[in-house]
Structure 1
Amino acid sequence: MSLKNKLGLGVASAALGLSLIGGGTYAYFSDSEVTNNTFAAGTLDLVANPTTIIDVDNIKPGDTMLREFFLENNGTLDIKSVVLNTSYDVTDAKEDNDGEDFGKHIRVNFLFNIDKLDAPVWSTTLYDLQNMDPKVVKNKFDDIFGDEWDHRGLAAGSSDRMWVQFEFVDNGEDQNMFQGDSLNLEWTFNATQKNGSER
């Protein structure tokens, strides 16, 4: 056999050996498994029911208006706290209103004990409520609900009953400048979630 043939046979043998070695790696058992994973965020859905808490006309100094409403958690996550933001605008019936703000004469009495509705837990005017730091309002709400609110918050699927009384304060003085005035009140309840936890 010539040298050329011997070299060719050697190369062919080496190639066959490499292919057997390479092919041998596929002879071991193997298996695979695919996992499908999901992350679904929960929802915060705070609802005030009814959405119009008060709608009255022809009020006069000394009038009080008691209203009931519910804060409902229609979401899937528990609510830790609720902060109330207040804004209003006044339409003056007269051009000269002596610089008086109608909101300073509308008092809000937040009531919690249904058996003692004459004893408000917290009273303030709409004017003060509008200009109050939201953190102060939150602290007041926490005081109203006490320990139960602090520990439970507003659980998903639950509701809390609220009582509020509006009062056109009779200050014993001439309040004729408010005749015909109207006040548009907007209350925004802002909910925050409870702290994250190990899941």
Structure 2
Amino acid sequence: MTIKKKLGVGMASAVLGLSLIGGGTFAAFNDTATVNNHFASGTLKLSVGSNEGNKPNNFDISNMKPGDSVQRKYRLENAGTILIENIFMTVKAKEYSNNDSGATLEEFLNQFEITLYNVHSKNDGEYNDKNSLIKENTSVTLKDLVKGDLSGKIKGRYMTEGKVNLAPIGISNNSRSSTSKGNTLVIMIKFKEDSSKTDNGEFYQNKFMNNTVNFDINFEATQ
């Protein structure tokens, strides 16, 4: 952007008036100034890393059976240059196979109970209702997370616009955030145990044997 500033215009007009009367010549003074500007957009970047040493940060589990559970710990960090206001977590399921058992995707996802914990140095290892993101006496399944059916199930401070918001957990080691100091997010997934049987005497969960599904956990940072 260039800004030009003309000086001496009033003087030139005065001299012009005299020249018309006196028949002489005149000269106008001129001056310019340039303001150089620069705009650069910042970087909004959320880093989600494992907080368990060499363990992977994804869930890639085979041969799970009812009663089995697995957990992962995550550290949220601002790796960009712009303040982070919200961290939304959503889940998307894909590539489901029921091994010709007749089970539906929603039925299979409903077999996995999800628990989310906000763990910090003072309560590390203590996973209980107090530091859970889920309301007491409430169950959340993988199906609920995929469908976004979370009304009345997640504690109010962790919900924004109908989505799970991890901002209260905080972002570690970076002042470019409106969230508190970073803690650890723990995601625990348990394969439910159901002893109910069908009319022919088989366990209801038999139809989930050799079922497979891929699912993505998405973390969206917004300013």
Query: How high is the TM-score relative to the length of structure 2?
Result: 0.62
- Measured on the aligned residues, the alpha-carbon RMSD in Å equals 3.0
Structure 2 unpaired stretches of 5+: 1-18, 51-55, 150-159, 171-176, 197-202
Give the equivalent residue in structure 1 for 2:126: 116
Deviations, residues 80-131 of structure 1 (Å, cap 9, x unaligned): 0011221113211234237862100111110113241244332510101111
Structure 1 unpaired stretches of 5+: 1-13, 147-151, 194-199
Q: Evaluate the alpha carbon distance shift between residue 100 and residue 76 of structure 1 in structure 2; reply closer, same or farther with a 3 A threshold.
A: closer
Q: Which has the higher helix share?
A: 1
Conserved 8 A contact 1:154-1:160:
no
Query: How high is the TM-score relative to the length of structure 1?
Result: 0.69
Write the letter of the residue equivalent to 2:42. Answer: G
Q: Evaluate the alpha carbon distance shift between residue 82 and residue 35 of structure 1 in structure 2; reply closer, same or farther with a 3 A threshold.
A: same
Q: Distance in 1 between matches of 2:59 and 2:68?
A: 13
Instruction: Work out which of the residue numbers 38, 56, 59 in structure 2 matches 1:54.
Output: 59
Deviation at 1:137, TM superposition (A): 2.4
Percent of pairs with identical residues: 25
Deviant stretches of 4+, over 6 Å:
none
Give the equivalent residue in structure 2 for 1:135: 161
Q: Distance in 2 between matches of 1:44 and 1:87?
A: 23
Give the equivalent residue in structure 2 for 1:161: 184
Q: Which has the higher contact order (CA 8 A, sep 6+)?
A: 1
Aligned: 1:188 with 2:198: no
When Rg is computed on C-alpha atoms for both structures, the one with the higher figure is: 1
Q: Evaluate the alpha carbon distance shift between residue 65 and residue 188 of structure 1 in structure 2; reply closer, same or farther with a 3 A threshold.
A: same
Q: Distance in 2 between matches of 1:59 and 1:103?
A: 13
Q: Evaluate the alpha carbon distance shift between residue 168 and residue 59 of structure 1 in structure 2; reply closer, same or farther with a 3 A threshold.
A: same
